């Protein structure tokens, strides 16, 4: 492959470790309670990791 074909791709960081921590927290809280737990929505904001695949490939011509 030519180096120009190896473009670092932009991606989304979903914070997998944080998702696991929150899942464990919710599960442990449910196990530690004698009452049926209420449904809980946990929203974690992902981060966009911008790399060379986002944006212009060539600089604009003057």
Tell me the backbone φ, ψ of residue 55, rounded to 5 degrees. Answer: 105, -170
pLDDT of residue 6: 82
Q: Where are the domains of the chain?
A: 14-62
Split at pLDDT 50, 70, 90, the class of 27 is very high
Q: Is 70 exceeded by the pLDDT of residue 57?
A: no
State the Cα–Cα distance between residues 25 and 31, nearest whole angstrom: 10
Distance (Å, whole) CA 15 – CA 24:
14
Confidence of residue 61 (pLDDT cuts 50, 70, 90): confident
Q: Residue 36 above 70 pLDDT? A: yes
Judge contact between 55 and 9, C-beta under 8 A. Answer: no
Least confident of 6-10, 28-32, 56-60: 56-60
* pTM: predicted TM-score of the whole model, two decimal places: 0.66
């Amino acid at each position: 492959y030519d180096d120009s074909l190896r473009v670092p791709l932009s991606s989304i960081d979903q914070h997998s470790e944080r998702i696991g921590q929150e899942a464990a927290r919710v599960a442990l809280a449910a196990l530690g309670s004698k009452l049926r737990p209420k449904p809980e929505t946990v929203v974690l904001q992902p981060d966009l990791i911008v790399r060379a695949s986002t944006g212009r490939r060539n600089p604009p011509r003057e």
